[in-house]
């Protein structure tokens, strides 16, 4: 799998040797990482405007048990912030934590890896998590672009677009809006141009993605 551009793997573990081993393992696959020794330290990054998770493809390797805020508590906070879709979480667990980790997967965690874990298997899952993050961010970006295009439509263009999407021919649209067929044709062309589509079917499919 090709490395995801500008992707970061965040490592949150209170054990320095684990952080260093994970960072080294990721480097062997040309993956960038950033390590934190506590859940609190990572949460501060999440609170920094304009940076951190949610801006670029990323995933989180998160230890379950740590002094202070636990990995599970941090996971709950990430859920409340709406971050775990764009920031897939892979829990690193001890044997006793496995039932808890299974529950977190049901609540949206990407996966869990029991210690000691297989290096190759873990990095494979990291790469899959980064690919998911990239897809989510790309979808959000496209939706944002679509919303921007919609704001550029005039009120009359919106009226015409709605009826075009419903499948009405120009004559019926003109009758409903009490305008000429020629005016409908002009507005229709402008809608297609602003929305960057070439047909009513393409326009309808585009709007379903909002």
- Write a three-state SS string for 114-175: ECCCCHHHHHHHHHHHHHHHHHHHHHHHHHHHHHHHHHCCCHHHHHHHHHHHCCCCHHHHHH
Torsion of CA 64, 24, 54, 12, to 10 degrees: 20
Return the pLDDT at 95. 66
The CATH number assigned to the domain with range 152-207 reads: 1.10.10.10
Domain residue spans of the chain: 8-141, 152-207
What would the pLDDT profile of 168-206 be if each residue is shown by its tens digit? Answer: 999 999 999 999 999 999 999 999 999 999 999 999 998
Structure confidence at residue 6 (pLDDT): 81
Q: Considering the domain 8-141, what is its CATH architecture?
A: 3-Layer(aba) Sandwich (3.40)
pLDDT of residue 106: 78
Q: If 0-12 CB within 10 Å is exposed, 13-18 middle and 19+ buried, where does residue 197 land?
A: middle
pLDDT at residue 208, rounded to an integer: 84
pLDDT of residue 46: 86
Residues in the chain with pLDDT < 50? none
Model pLDDT, residue 55? 80
Q: What is the pLDDT of residue 51?
A: 66
pLDDT, residue 63, reads 92
pLDDT of residue 113: 85
């Amino acid at each position: 799998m090709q490395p995801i551009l500008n992707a970061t793997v965040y490592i949150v573990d209170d054990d320095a040797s684990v952080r260093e081993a994970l960072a080294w393992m990721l480097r062997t696959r040309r993956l960038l990482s950033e390590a934190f020794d506590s859940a609190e330290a990572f949460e501060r990054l999440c609170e920094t405007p304009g940076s951190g998770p949610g801006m670029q493809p990323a995933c989180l390797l998160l230890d379950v048990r740590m002094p202070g805020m636990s990995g599970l508590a941090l996971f709950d906070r990430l859920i409340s912030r709406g971050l775990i879709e764009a920031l897939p979480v892979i829990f690193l667990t001890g044997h006793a934590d496995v039932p808890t980790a299974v529950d977190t997967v049901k609540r949206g965690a990407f996966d869990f890896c029991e210690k000691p874990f297989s290096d190759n298997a873990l990095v494979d899952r990291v790469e899959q998590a980064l690919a998911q993050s990239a897809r989510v961010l790309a979808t959000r970006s496209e939706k944002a672009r679509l919303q921007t295009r919609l704001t550029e439509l005039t009120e009359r263009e919106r009226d015409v677009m709605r009826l075009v999407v419903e499948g009405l021919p120009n004559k019926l649209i003109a009758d409903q809006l009490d305008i000429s067929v020629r005016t409908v044709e002009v507005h229709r062309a402008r809608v297609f141009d602003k929305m960057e589509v070439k047909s009513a079917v393409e326009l309808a499919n585009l709007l379903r993605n909002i």
